[in-house]
Structure 1
Amino acid sequence: MKRSLLAIAALQLVGCGADPTATQNTSAELGGVNTSPEQNRVTTSRNEAAAALLPAKVRDRGTLVVGGTIGSPPLGFVADDNKTPIGIEIDLATLVASALGLKPDYQVTSWENLFVGLDSAKYDVGFANITVTEKRKQKYDFATYRKDDIAFEAKKGGDWKITGGKDVAGKTIAVGTGTNQEKILVDWDEENVKAGLPAASIKYFQSPSDTYLALSSGRIDAYFGPNPNVAYHVKVGGQTETIGKFSGAGATLQGLIAATTKKDSGLVKAYQAALNAVIADGSYAKVLARWNVANEAVGKSEINPPGLPKNKQK
């Protein structure tokens, strides 16, 4: 029970910052993953072709200023010292910086302020599980690096599976506010009500521990969140299971997560080249395998591919 409660307390929802006073799990409690501040990160070497695509001011500065969020294992959270950022997003940002011949300057912020920082050019790039959407493409450029999958998590042992919108009718489900999965869930609920099905009860919680305590007590039927978070919590906690998984861009399009930069900043081609370089040299695959998300790998990085349609997002 102790292990499960610690795992719950450590897990955060996408777009939320970690509580710096929270007790972090040991590596044993996080499925054997190294959560010490002394990370044995996967490394790569400078790729000259990618580095040559950088604007001179960034290349001369020698650093890549990365905006990101922490608090959601395994995407981004804090190590056992309660201050060192670790996780998939940090590792991939570090790889890209190295391929560009730059030192990563990872700056932790909130989900909302991440985009403010990109708009003002405070950050060169955002690595924070950011989904490509048609609306966001109006303001940002994207270089993709991972599939965007979202999943439902429920207590283990039930016979309820979610294969589509009708399966949430009459259920109580927690979701993160302002996320793509919230919009998908709301759209499903509206369609169900129009069809005469019972409405879902959509719940929002201030902290991940509140969400998972509600799930364990039966006050909610499921949590709908990013697949890496759900898969990680299922593995660590041992008391829940994934009951449905979907693309974050809807039923007709595979969603994609991308390195995000201010539109027309002149940086996106360098990010794409760096990502393709680390995909080719195998270091990218090692990072994803390290965090148990190898099934979300992409074969190449794309610039501004089709994303979640405007009529399916906020």
Structure 2
Amino acid sequence: MNRKKITALALTAAISAAVLAGCGSSAASSAAPAAASAADSATTDTAASADLLSQIRERGTITVAMEGTWAPWTYHDENDNLVGYDVEVATLIAEKLGVEPEFIEGEWDGLLAGLDAGRYDIMVNGVDITEERAEKYDFSEPYAYNRTAVITKGDNDTINSLEDLKGKKTANTISSTYAQLAEQYGADVTGVDDLNQTFELLNSGRIDATLNAEVTFYDYTKEHPDANVKIAVLTQDANEVAIPLRKGDETATLREAINTAIDELRASGQLKDLSEKYFGTDISSND
């Protein structure tokens, strides 16, 4: 083969290699944005699926856990309809979020566990903010405030301070703030399922006292005007009542949306109106 032919073949091979390299570079450069776009899309989809508020709005409902046995917070009326302050507050918040509330009732001890397990989106059940709970849950801003009352029979003069609870028998749902406070002051706490059982034990003399919200006492005596009960002790500081949510990034936007809803309901006077409807006083403010 002569020199001219070899040179021509080499030139042709070089040109072909350059063209192929150019094609490969073009394909790679066009594939890179596509891959990046797909990755971005996947990241966005993952973030959306992890966002609880997005999930709630997509399905159109928010699951709300409550007892259904604690008047006037959450209870059943004479027609067995679920009613109460918390029922109406949760309904208004759901409306602000653009969804319908789905109420799921259960005993207090299982409600927070259900929230942990993801069976409920939120719990609206007169839940006080405590240091222990705040370590485990993220809370909305308070939507109500109430003081704690030590309730005894009308003729019991042995309890005049929280310190007098030492050695006394009380009753409450075991994991409630009230049970914890009674135990803190040395009381022997009997666990019950609901408020009705608590007052049955008190009226029958099987316990010395029960701790509960001040407004709950007023509601009970309104329904039972002849009941031989009284407030023996009333705390000075009000407890902050709020909505617990699971901790984590997935609930951040939901908590912000709930806080906005609470602010709007307080500014419009709706929380005040509901407070006066169910408690006879405004518990939506700490004034």
TM-score (norm 2): 0.70
Partner of 1:174: 171
Deviations 1:140-196, CA, capped at 9 Å, x for gaps: 21112111432112223555553331x22454333332222222222212xxxxxxx
Residue identity matched to 2:121? D
Residue number among 213, 222, 245 corresponding to 1:235 in the alignment: 222
Residue number among 258, 267, 276 corresponding to 2:242 in the alignment: 258
Partner of 2:265: 278
Distance change (3 Å), C-alpha of 1:242 and 1:262: same
C-alpha displacement of 1:205:
4.4
Partner of 2:69: 71
Residue number among 153, 156, 166 corresponding to 2:154 in the alignment: 156
Are residues 1:137 and 2:134 paired? yes
Residue number among 119, 122, 129 corresponding to 2:119 in the alignment: 122
Query: Matches of 1:91 and 1:152 in 2, distance apart?
Result: 27
Whether the 8 Å CA contact 1:131–1:148 is kept in 2: the answer is no
Residue identity matched to 1:258? A
C-alpha displacement of 1:111:
2.2
Distance change (3 Å), C-alpha of 1:131 and 1:208: closer
Q: How does 1:21-40 map to 2 (within 5 A)?
A: none
RMSD (CA atoms): 2.7
Deviations 1:263-302, CA, capped at 9 Å, x for gaps: 13121111100000000011111111110153422269xx
Query: Matches of 2:155 and 2:110 in 1, distance apart?
Result: 40
Distance change (3 Å), C-alpha of 1:105 and 1:155: same
Partner of 2:56: 58
Query: Matches of 2:286 and 2:147 in 1, distance apart?
Result: 16
Query: Matches of 1:95 and 1:296 in 2, distance apart?
Result: 17
Deviations 1:8-32, CA, capped at 9 Å, x for gaps: xxxxxxxxxxxxxxxxxxxxxxxxx
Residue identity matched to 1:137? A
Distance change (3 Å), C-alpha of 1:294 and 1:120: same
User: 2:128 aligns to what SS in structure 1?
Assistant: coil
| Structure with greater helix percent | 2
Larger Rg: 2
Q: Which has the higher contact order (CA 8 A, sep 6+)?
A: 1
Q: How many aligned positions are there?
A: 231
Query: Matches of 2:121 and 2:204 in 1, distance apart?
Result: 43
Distance change (3 Å), C-alpha of 1:120 and 1:217: closer
Residue identity matched to 1:72? W
Q: How does 1:302-313 map to 2 (within 5 A)?
A: none
User: 1:81 aligns to what SS in structure 2?
Assistant: coil
Query: Matches of 1:272 and 1:237 in 2, distance apart?
Result: 36
C-alpha displacement of 1:246:
2.2
